[in-house]
Structure 1
Amino acid sequence: MKKYSLYIITVLMSFGFTDCSDFLEQETGNRSSVDEQLATKEGVVTALYGAYTSLENLLRSEAFTVYADLQGGNLSFSPTASGTNKGQISVSSNVENVYAFQDLALSSHFSSFYSSAYSVINQVNLILEFVPLLPNTSEQDQAAIQAQCKTIRGYVHFLLLQLYAQNYTYTTDASHLGVVYQTLTLNSGISYAERATVKDCFDFSISDLNDAISLYQQENTLLEGPDYSYFNSYSAKALLARIYLAQNNWEQAYQLANDIIENSGFTLSSSATYVEEWENTDAPINEVLLEFSVPRDAEGNVGASMSAYYGINSVTNYGKYVASLDLITLFEENDVRKKLFISNQLATLYNDELVDETYYFTKKYQDNAGYIAFRLSELYFIRAEAAIYLKNETVAMQDINTIKERAGAARITTTANLLAELLLEKRKEFCFEGHLFFDIARTHQNVERNQGCISNVCSLSYPSPKFVLPIPQSSININSNLEQNESY
C-alpha cells in the first residue's frame, strides 16, 4: 500500500446546509443562493468538501460512534473523575435510553443523527442535480464528482438501515420496513416519501454503488488531501461487499472481498508494527482503506476527534468509555492486540469509599484519531464468512487464521463451528470500531452483556423490536407518511 503523509487541508466552507428538518422548512427563495454557489465547478467541489465534513461530524457523534460496541457488550463506563460525584459509575446521558434498549421517539438520542444523515444525503443530491449543468467541466471531473456523491448517498442510507430497520433476513423476502431512500433534493411543499422496504433500500444502495464504482478514475485529481480521507473505487467496493454480506449475497460478497484483497495493492499491517501503527495518531494504520480524518483549522489545530470518548491523558482526565471485562477476557495472553489496551487504576466509589479499580482504555483513538470506516482486515472476514456459506471451509479457515496469526493467537485447526470462531475473532479485531451489534443482529444472535453492565436490561433475545431504534417523532411530525417502528 502507498504510505501517505498527513497534511493539512484548508478549505473555506462557504457552502453549508442546516439539518434536514430546518432545510425542509426554508422558504423556496433561499434556493437562489444555493443555485449560485453550485453554478461552477469550484463551488461544487467546495460543496463536496462540505458533504465530507458533514459526514465526518455525523459518524463522530457520540451516540453513533459507541452504539454498536455499547449495545453489543464491548464497552463499559469509566468513573467520574472529580467533583462531588467522583468515583461514581453511570451511563452517559447521551446514550442512557439507548443503552437500556428503551430509546424514546419523542426525545431520541439519535434524533440529530437521523436529521443530519438526511441533510448529508440532501447535500449530495443537490450536487448531483447540478453536475450535468456545470460549464467548463470535463466529463472526467463530472464522473469523479458523481462517483463521490453516489457512494456517500449509498453509505448514509445503509447506516440508517442498520439503525432503523431490522436486518435483511428478518423476513424471508426482506419486505419489512426500511427507510426513506432519498434520491431527489427536498424542497418546501413537496409530498414526502414513505419508507421503502428493506429489499428496495438494499437494491437502491447497490445500484448507487455500482454506478459509482463504474465512474471512479484511477487517480484522485479532484479533492486535495490524503487519499485515505475520501472514497475511491476500492473503499466503495469495500462498502458494497459489506452490504452484500448483510444481504446474505454470499457470491457477490466473496467476489468483491477477494478483488480488494488480491488487486487493491493494500496489505495487512504486520504483527511487528500493528500496535505501533495504531499509536501513530497523525495517520491511520497501513491497512486502512478509508478514514474520515479529524477536522483542522488553518493553523492545523484539531477541532475534535474520537479521543473525546475513548482518550485518556491522566487519571483525572479521560473519556467516558472503556473496554468491558466481557471483551478483555476474550484475548489470549500472547495476543498482540492486548497491547492496544491502556490499563489504569482509577478511583471508584464502592460503599461510600473510593478504591482503585483497573479500567482498560483503547490505544486506537488517542490524540488526533479519526473515524475508521474500512480497513483490509474486514475484507478477510467478509471473504471468510461468504466462503463458509459457499461450502469453501478451507478458504474460510485460512482467512480467519491469517488474522489470528497476525495477532499471535492460536490457529484454528478444524472447520467445526467456523462461523462462531469467525464472529469471535471479528469481535476482538474490530472492538471500538462499530461492528459488534450489527453483526449480532445480522446473524440472529442474542445480546449478552455481563461483566460491567449497569443497565436494567443487559440481555436481548433475537428477534426483538428493540434491535432497532425509533424514528424520531420530530421527523414524523414533518413527514406524516413515516410509519413508526414496532414497540415505539
Structure 2
Amino acid sequence: MKYSKYITLFILIFSLQSCSDFLEQEPGTQTSIDELLQNKKGVITSLTGLYTELEANVRSERFAVYADLQGGNIKFTPTASGTNRGQISPAGNVEQIYSFEDLALTSDFKPFYDGSYDIINQANLILEYTPVLKDATEEEKKQIMAEAMTIRAYAHFLLAIVYSQNYNYTPDASHLGIVYNTQSIKAGIQYPARETAANTYNLIITDLKTAINNYSNTLVLSGPTYSYFNINSTKALLARVYLQKSDWTNAYETANDVITNSGVELVEKDNYIPEWEKSDLPVSEILLEFSIPRDSEGSANISMSNYFGYTSATSYTKYVASDDLVNLYENSDLRKQLFLKQSLQTLVNGVLAPVNYNFTKKFQNNAGYVAFRLSEMYLIRAEAALETNRNDIAMEDINIIRARANATVLTSTANLKEDILLERRKELCFEGHLFFDLVRNQKDISRNDGCISTSCSMTYPSLKFVLPIPTFNTNLNPNLQQNDSY
C-alpha cells in the first residue's frame, strides 16, 4: 500500500508518453520521471509496476484466448440467463478477430498493441536509469537490467507473432516485422519504421542473450520467484524464439539447457491432475507464471478463470474446449481428466435443451497466466531433434510426455512431425500456442465443432493470419506501414 502512489504515478507517466501512439509528453513529465527513478527504491517500484502491466496485457481476454480460439481448441458457451438464454455468440472482445475480420479502425487488439509498446517504453526507461544508480550494487543493477531487457524482448516477440507473418513466410524473412524500440520516448515525436522479420528476430535474440549474461544471484523483487523472469525462464523464452525462427540447432541446445540445468522437473504421473487442480499455486514444473492481482486483503479479483471458469449451471464463463480438441485424447490419457463436463441449457432448433460442454480444469479458481513450463521445453527439444535428423531422440522426448499422461507411447518415427504437433496441441492446450504452431508450420486452419465464425477454415498462406495495426497508430506515424489487406 505504501508504494501505491508511486505505482499510480509511474503508470500515469508512461501512459502520457506511450511508444505506441507517439504522443508528446506533458510539460514537467521528465522531472517526475527523474524523481521516481533516481534511486533503487524508485526503480524497483517501477519494475514491480512493469510486471503488473505485463501480466495484465498477456492475461487480458484478447491475448489469453487468441491462439487457442483461432486454432480451434476452444468454442463459446451459451448465454446463461436473460432473454438470450441458450444462445451462442462470440465474446465481444474477440468477435472481429474470431472471424478473421478484424478492422484497423476498430481493432479488437488495439489495447494489446498499445499496452505492449507502453511496456517496452517502461522497460527502456528502467534500462536507461539503472546504470547510474548510486545506492544499488553492481549485482542489483545487473539483475534489474536483465529482467527489464527480457521483458522488452518478450513484448516485442509477442507483437511479432501477432502482427508479422511467420518467420518463413518469405525465404529470407525479408517481409515486414515490427517496430523495435530500444530507446525510450522522452520528448518530442518519433516516427520509427518496421524492421524486417529477420531483423526483428535478431534484435529479440540479442536482447535475450544480453539479459542471460547479466542475471545475477541477487533477487531484487519480493513475492513468489516463479512470477518474475530469471535466467531459466529467459532461456525458455529464447528456446521458443528459436523454435519460431526454425533455428533448430539453437532451439535444441537452449531447450536442453533448461531441461538439464534449471533444477525444475516434470510433474510425475500420479500428481499431474492434482497439480493442475491446485487453487492458488502453479504446477510444480512451472518456469514462469505471472502472479494475478490481489487486493489489500489478498483476494483475487481477476484471473484466467474469468474466461474458463465454471461455478454452476447458471454461473460460468465464455470459453470451453471444442470437441475437435477433446476427441484427440485416448480414453486412457490422464489429460482427458482435465476436462470438466457440464450440461448447459442451449437453444437447439429454437428449443432449450441440455448440451454437454467441457470446461478446462487448468484455469479454475485463482489461476494465473502460464507463460512457460518444462513440458514445452521437452516438446521444443523433440521438434528440434527431428529437424536435425535425430529422430530417436525426438521420439524419446515425445514418449516422456506421452508416458507421463498414460497415453500410448510411439514405436515408429514414420509420422513424427505430425505426432509432435499433435502432442503440443494436447499438452499445451489453453496456454496460447496452437494458432502460432499451425501458422509457423504453414498449415491450414480448420475449426469444426462449435464454429460460429463466418470463416471456419482458412488456407495457408493468408493475409488474415496477422492482425491490422490500429489506424490511430498508422495515422500518427507516417512511417508505420500497415499489413497487407487492411
TM over 0.5: yes
CA distances 1:175-198 after superposition (whole Å, capped 9, x unpaired): 100000000001342331000001
TM-score with structure 2 setting the length: 0.97
Contact 1:95 1:109 in 2 (8 A): yes
Partner SS, residue 343 of structure 1: strand
Structure 2: give runs of 5+ residues left out of the alignment: none
Deviation at 1:303, TM superposition (A): 2.5
TM-score with structure 1 setting the length: 0.96
Amino acid at match of 2:474: I
Which of 15, 18, 23 in structure 1 is aligned with 2:15?
18
The answer to whether residue 385 in structure 2 is matched with residue 368 in structure 1 is: no
Task: Give matches, 1:400-439, under 5 Å.
Answer: 400-439=398-437
Deviation at 1:28, TM superposition (A): 4.3
Identity %: 54
Return the alpha-carbon distance in structure 2 between the equivalents of residues 32 and 477 of structure 1: 29
Contact 1:10 1:298 in 2 (8 A): no
**Counterpart residue number, 1:77:** 76
**Counterpart residue number, 1:447:** 445
Contact 1:56 1:371 in 2 (8 A): yes
Partner SS, residue 365 of structure 1: coil
Partner SS, residue 76 of structure 1: strand
Contact 1:28 1:187 in 2 (8 A): no
CA distances 1:223-257 after superposition (whole Å, capped 9, x unpaired): 10111000000000000000011111111110011
**Counterpart residue number, 1:208:** 207
Return the alpha-carbon distance in structure 2 between the equivalents of residues 25 and 277 of structure 1: 48
Amino acid at match of 1:18: S
**Counterpart residue number, 2:165:** 166
Partner SS, residue 269 of structure 2: coil
Contact 2:304 2:364 in 1 (8 A): yes
Task: Give matches, 1:260-299, under 5 Å.
Answer: 260-299=258-297
Which of 452, 465, 468 in structure 2 is aligned with 1:467?
465
Deviation at 1:351, TM superposition (A): 2.1
**Counterpart residue number, 2:329:** 331
Contact 1:28 1:188 in 2 (8 A): no
Amino acid at match of 1:323: A
Return the alpha-carbon distance in structure 2 between the equivalents of residues 154 and 28 of structure 1: 30
Contact 2:25 2:188 in 1 (8 A): no
Task: Give matches, 1:40-79, under 5 Å.
Answer: 40-79=39-78
User: Structure 1 pair 94/417, CA: closer, same or farther in 2 (3 Å)?
Assistant: same
Contact 1:78 1:322 in 2 (8 A): yes
Return the alpha-carbon distance in structure 1 between the equivalents of residues 138 and 73 of structure 2: 47
CA distances 1:279-324 after superposition (whole Å, capped 9, x unpaired): 1021000100000011112211112101110001111111100000
Task: Give matches, 1:300-319, under 5 Å.
Answer: 300-319=298-317
The count of residues paired between Structure 1 and Structure 2 equals 479
CA distances 1:1-59 after superposition (whole Å, capped 9, x unpaired): xxxxxxxx985324223272567243242121111100010000000000000000000
Deviation at 1:262, TM superposition (A): 1.1
**Counterpart residue number, 2:116:** 117
Return the alpha-carbon distance in structure 2 between the equivalents of residues 439 and 154 of structure 1: 20
**Counterpart residue number, 1:38:** 37
Return the alpha-carbon distance in structure 2 between the equivalents of residues 188 and 215 of structure 1: 29
Return the alpha-carbon distance in structure 2 between the equivalents of residues 324 and 128 of structure 1: 43
**Counterpart residue number, 2:246:** 248
**Counterpart residue number, 2:350:** 352
User: Structure 1 pair 296/70, CA: closer, same or farther in 2 (3 Å)?
Assistant: same
Partner SS, residue 290 of structure 1: strand
CA RMSD between the two structures: 1.2
Amino acid at match of 1:165: S
**Counterpart residue number, 1:3:** none
Amino acid at match of 2:183: L
**Counterpart residue number, 2:381:** 383
Contact 2:22 2:189 in 1 (8 A): no
Structure 1: give runs of 5+ residues left out of the alignment: 1-8
**Counterpart residue number, 1:143:** 142
User: Structure 1 pair 10/278, CA: closer, same or farther in 2 (3 Å)?
Assistant: farther
**Counterpart residue number, 2:390:** 392
Return the alpha-carbon distance in structure 1 between the equivalents of residues 147 and 450 of structure 2: 41
Amino acid at match of 1:245: L
CA distances 1:50-71 after superposition (whole Å, capped 9, x unpaired): 0000000000111111000000
Partner SS, residue 372 of structure 1: strand
Deviation at 1:385, TM superposition (A): 0.4
Deviation at 1:347, TM superposition (A): 0.2
Contact 1:307 1:368 in 2 (8 A): yes
**Counterpart residue number, 1:257:** 255
Contact 2:22 2:191 in 1 (8 A): no
Deviation at 1:137, TM superposition (A): 1.3
Partner SS, residue 356 of structure 1: strand
Return the alpha-carbon distance in structure 1 between the equivalents of residues 3 and 314 of structure 2: 36
Partner SS, residue 18 of structure 1: helix
The answer to whether residue 149 in structure 2 is matched with residue 153 in structure 1 is: no
Contact 1:24 1:187 in 2 (8 A): no
Contact 2:104 2:471 in 1 (8 A): yes
**Counterpart residue number, 1:6:** none
CA distances 1:409-429 after superposition (whole Å, capped 9, x unpaired): 011100111010000011000
**Counterpart residue number, 1:5:** none
Contact 2:21 2:473 in 1 (8 A): no
Partner SS, residue 356 of structure 2: strand
Contact 2:266 2:285 in 1 (8 A): yes
Contact 1:26 1:188 in 2 (8 A): yes
